[in-house]
A and B are shown apart, each in its own frame.
Chain A
Amino acid sequence: MRKVFFMLLVVLLTLSMAASGAPKGDIVIGCLQDITGVTSTLGKMVQEGANWALNEINAAGGVNGRKIRMITYDTKADVQEAINAFTRMCTRDRVSAIIGPPVANIGIAIAPISENYDVPVLGFAIDDRVTMKDDGTPYKNMFLFQPSARQQGAIMANFAVKEKGLKKFGIIYNQANAYSVSLLEPFKDAARQAGAQILVEVPYQPTDRDFKTMLNKIVSAGVDAIYAPNYTQELILITQQARAIGFEGQLICGLDACPPFPALCGPESNGIIYINNITETEPQIQGIIAEYKQKTGNDATNKFFLGYDVMKILAKVIGEVGDNPVAVRAAVENLKGYQGLTGNITIDPKTHQTKGLEMVMHEIENQLPKMLKRYAVPE
């Protein structure tokens, strides 16, 4: 009799605790990034930014009294590693959401697999194939938290043609790189629609290191500007070699021309126009950059702020709907007007991409970024 009474007491106590909504332990967020591979500079920054936001949230008391805990897995820039880690987070770690990588090939590999689970992935790979299926509908779990390749290409083309008056472009791109290729057609389409011409287009291979002959071909076509949507290392070589063959016109570049690119490239980077998610001149961003520098000795790049914003968004939606991944996914899908450091973020439920999010156009002067204008893709 005493045993039965004791068991009933335990059950009642458990039920009463659940009913009272008492803290159930930490909220677990997954972070899937390249920490040691070739794109580790990007992945580490996303992780650091998310961690910075997490520390701020936990220091302020957490979400509804619960702390956030982040589990990071290193993809090593390897698709198979990424798939294994993703599966582990969904099945074993039971995360509420995953902060995804800024790298397209990993995003593309995860997207179809993510359909088997109910865990939202808030990522930054701008290739449409990471968020959209071939039939034009979005993958249920995949979300993009910066303008897509289509939007960024259109922003750069419209800005170059309409604001800078450039009319004749040459293009040099890495034909084996999803990021580079994804920014190609949107730029060409938008530039042509705006009345500009693409005079010459030169693809190159990932093993190429000498671009002078390719650049000669572009320069001799009489272009006003060279569009180079490439990764930082290649961009340094392209910029230096373009100047070395006497090209004095402008280069239009993607996110990889953000700092530390100007310092790495040297004075040849002057005159480059590039797109960025943030501008370092904003006081709040300046404050975090200074504090982060003081604490770690490193520079916080744009990816840091993407990671930061997404962690804050997750804290907000979990605070509203709880940490059930399905509820989190529904809240993320309907996110409207979240004012983050990277802009005013609204998710379009039809595409799972941002809607109307502005990018900040910059020009490099004296090896420093100078903000030109906030610019969104014309609707």
Chain B
Amino acid sequence: MSLQIIINGFALGSVYALIATGFSLIFNILKFSNFSHGALMTLSAFIGYFVSVRTGWSLVPIVLISMLAGGVIAYIGEFVAFRKITLRQTSPVYFFVSSITLATLYEGIVTIWVGPNFYNYPRFFKSLVIRFGDFVISTSDLIMFISSAVALILLMLFIQKTRLGRALRSVSFDRDTAGLMGINVSGTIQLAFFISGALAGLSGVFLGINYTLYPQLGNLVVKGFIASVIGGLGSILGAVIGAVLLGLMETLLINYVGSGYAPVFTFLIMLVFLLVRPRGIAGINIQEKA
């Protein structure tokens, strides 16, 4: 097996990891698959793009702006689409319906705003390629890999080591008891949405740099969902492991069976996981509500 293929697999996996983590965070707290996450990635990536075109700023401020935009939009989205459902504790199916509706709204806003065309981020790196002996890695892939790793480590530290992180874990474990213990449940859910939105902004910018920007960019959220299923729905570490495995698996499949059959095998593997080990690799057994 060529080392170059593994490098490509890790690069692809790091993109999926960013998508899967934001996705998984909401699943962890509210126990539903937030399909508006993909469209939010697109929306915040476009905000970063237009700021970048107008100001000519470098990558770091653009990433920060997109993350902030993603966080704020997700925060508002939570209030508009999910708050009532959470408070009334009505049928969990409404979470799913609401997330699909919100995704359509975000995608509609992007399409009206930018039209159906694609856009290319301005160039942030002088050199496209970094060489390690006989092997090459694209600069954007490497920076994306490092950024993903840093963001995910910070997120894990935040969840494990801070009071707010403990509150997140408590709400995730049992919302009612957490409320009785004096934790601000609504505030904690808002925080989860903000962090998830910020991760959507971060992944959106790197997806845009790597794959150009277009209104349907967020469809890649499906990969995040598959990664979450493989890793274990609701587990952030599982999502990362699942994403890296998915990236490697796709790269190998493309190399050995071709791009046409690769998605077939990918979905088959996801189905096998759902049938044989629905709790995924990480082993957290969470019953999805919707």
Contact = CB atoms under 8 A, between A and B. Distances in A.
Interface of A: 36-38, 40-41, 175, 202-205, 207-210, 212-214, 216-217, 220, 232-233, 236-237, 240-241, 243-246, 264-266, 268
21 contacts: A36-B116, A37-B116, A40-B117, A203-B259, A203-B260, A205-B260, A207-B219, A207-B263, A209-B211, A209-B220, A210-B8, A212-B11, A213-B5, A216-B2, A216-B255, A236-B120, A236-B212, A237-B211, A243-B129, A244-B140, A245-B138
A216 B8 contact: yes
Given A205-B263, A244-B136, A264-B120, A213 B255 contact: yes
Contacts of A244: 128-129, 136, 138-141
Interface in B176-220: 210-212, 214, 219-220
Nearest to A175: B260
Give the size category of B's interface with A.
20 to 34
Interface in B4-48: 4-5, 8-9, 11-12
A240 B128 contact: yes
Nearest to A263: B120
A266 B120 CA distance: 10
A217 B255 contact: yes
A212 B4 CA distance: 10
Contacts of B115: 36, 40
Contact of A246 (B136, B141, B258, B260): B136
Nearest to B214: A233
Nearest to A209: B211
Contact of A210 (B12, B116, B212): B12
Contact of A204 (B140, B212, B259): B259
B118 interface: yes
Contacts of B118: 232-233
B41 to A, nearest CB: 13
B131 interface: yes
Contact of A203 (B8, B11, B210, B258): B258
A175 to B, nearest CB: 7
Between A37, A212, A217, A220, the greatest number of chain B beta carbons within 10 A of the residue's beta carbon is seen for A212
Interface string B242-259: 000000000100110011
Contacts of A236: 120, 212
A185 B10 CA distance: 35
A202 B138 contact: no
Contacts of A41: 117
